[in-house]
Amino acid sequence: MQFSTQRADLLSALHSVIGVVERKQTMPILSCLLIDARGDHVVITATDLELELITYCSAAVGAEGSCAIPARKLFDICRGLADDAEINIDIHEGRARVRSGRARFMLSLMPGEDWPRIEDFESERRLEIAEATLERLFRKTEFAMAQQDVRYYLNGLLLSMRSDRVRCVATDGHRLALSEAAVELALDEPVEAIVPRKAIMELVKLLESGSESTIALQLSRNHLRIELPGLKFTTKLIDGRFPDYERVIPENNDKRMTANREQLRHALSRAAILSNEKFGGVRLSLTDGHVTIQSQNVDKEEAEDELSVDYHDTPIVIGFNVHYLLDALAVMSADELTLDLSGENSSGLLQEKDREDSRFVVMPMRL
């Protein structure tokens, strides 16, 4: 195997796939990238056995072949070279030789034949959706996914599709994020899939928010594949039953506070400085036209702030995890938001004012 390519082209390709490679591996080959030189390009593959990402890089191929090269070492070498550098990679004396100008690097390698593949993908459905729409839905919900929860089905995001709508839902048992968009999909019946957390985190980085492109989604019983320009993304799906999330969304919250999103976000951020590091609790005290935000930590340090809001109902005092509130506010774009409540022991429902396509539920805390 021998090829040469421009540093910018190779670095861009490596940057797209490097997030798949875990720093600690049970199998040494999983810390590598499969480099497959063929024709006028190089195919670069990364996998962790659950997620596979394939990208391409234009190259002048002198000798076709494949090998597995340490991923992060190759990535760091490319980052350290000059912007306009040309990189030549070949196999020399059983190792991968990387050359650029006067710089020489010799890396260990493994045979390309030993590369582990995700089991054969047999697409059962192929759907097309706007890239910007999918990026927005993922971005507005991914923060609520659980991390390493024993309820494994929470360690991912529910992708729910029907002929006129696509919806994303994530919850960790303490909060819930739901976002949906009206679309036209070629579906005879609803389809649901739980996409693992790591796959969603990688997709949020790969999808472009301002894109006008349409991308293809392919679904099988156990896999999801998304094709982007120059990229093929395949992930295993979580085999489980997602909770009945619609029962969690409160419908009888009759007390509504309307507030400026940025003012509330800044006030909560200030209160978070002196909140309990472990629980992050803040107390919201709503009275006619005002909300008072209070926090206290184990050292008896206190913070208090007051905002003018649109609230004209029975006074209510309720506690929330401040970070859950801030996460929801961070993915909103409207100038104003609403917080619907029914009592101090009931969940709060956050929404952008005059928009119902995204809903955020936060469980209360006892303070």
**CATH for 350:** 3.10.150.10
Q: Are residues 221 and 313 in the same domain?
A: no
At 32 the three-state DSSP class reads: strand
- pLDDT, residue 92, reads 87
Does residue 120 belong to any structural domain of this protein?
no
Contact call for residues 183 and 171 (beta carbons, < 8 A): no
- pLDDT, residue 367, reads 76
Q: Are residues 66 and 50 in the same domain?
A: yes
> pTM of the full predicted structure?
0.91
Name the nearest CA neighbour of 218 among 193, 200, 189: 193
What is the DSSP annotation of 53-118?
Answer: EEEEEE-EEEE-EEEEEEHHHHHHHHHHS-TT-EEEEEEETTEEEEEETTEEEEE--EEGGG---P
- What the block records as the tokens of 135 is 């990026």
Q: Are residues 109 and 205 in the same domain?
A: no
Number of CB atoms found within 10 A of residue 91's CB: 15
Q: Which residue, of 81, 114, 147, is where some domain finishes?
A: 114
Name the nearest CA neighbour of 157 among 143, 148, 165: 143
Q: Are residues 87 and 109 in the same domain?
A: yes
3-state helix, strand, coil in the chain (%, to 5): 20, 45, 35
Does residue 220 belong to any structural domain of this protein?
yes
Name the nearest CA neighbour of 58 among 43, 75, 76, 74: 43
Q: Are residues 37 and 92 in the same domain?
A: yes
Does residue 169 belong to any structural domain of this protein?
yes
Does residue 119 belong to any structural domain of this protein?
no
- Provide the number of structural domains found in the chain: 3
Phi first, then psi, for residue 29 (nearest 5°) are -70, -20
DSSP type of residue 310: B
Cα–Cα distance measured from residue 203 to residue 194, given in angstroms and rounded to the nearest whole number: 14
Does residue 262 belong to any structural domain of this protein?
yes
Domain around 332:
249-362
Q: Which residue, of 231, 246, 261, is where some domain finishes?
A: 246
294 Cβ contact partners less than 8 Å away, ≥ 6 residues apart: 271, 282, 283, 285, 302, 303, 304
Q: Are residues 129 and 237 in the same domain?
A: yes
Q: Are residues 265 and 336 in the same domain?
A: yes
- pLDDT, residue 117, reads 84
* pLDDT tens series, the chain, 367 aa: 999 999 999 999 999 999 999 888 888 999 999 999 999 999 999 999 999 999 999 999 999 999 999 999 999 999 999 999 999 999 988 899 999 999 999 999 999 898 998 877 777 889 999 999 999 999 999 999 999 999 999 999 999 999 999 999 999 999 999 999 999 998 889 999 999 999 999 999 999 888 889 999 999 989 999 998 889 999 999 999 999 999 999 988 999 999 999 999 999 999 999 999 888 999 999 999 999 999 999 999 999 999 999 999 999 999 999 999 999 999 999 999 999 999 898 999 999 999 989 999 999 998 7
Does residue 294 belong to any structural domain of this protein?
yes
Q: For the chain, what is the largest distance between any 2 Cα atoms, rounded to a whole number of angstroms? A: 79
Does residue 276 belong to any structural domain of this protein?
yes
Q: Are residues 83 and 104 in the same domain?
A: yes
Q: Which residue, of 52, 84, 114, is where some domain finishes?
A: 114
Cα–Cα distance measured from residue 269 to residue 353, given in angstroms and rounded to the nearest whole number: 21
At 207 the three-state DSSP class reads: coil
Contact call for residues 231 and 275 (beta carbons, < 8 A): no
Q: Are residues 108 and 14 in the same domain?
A: yes
Does residue 263 belong to any structural domain of this protein?
yes
- pLDDT, residue 278, reads 84
Q: Are residues 241 and 321 in the same domain?
A: no
Q: Are residues 141 and 182 in the same domain?
A: yes
Burial of 289 (0-12, 13-18, 19+ CB in 10 A): exposed
Q: Are residues 277 and 309 in the same domain?
A: yes
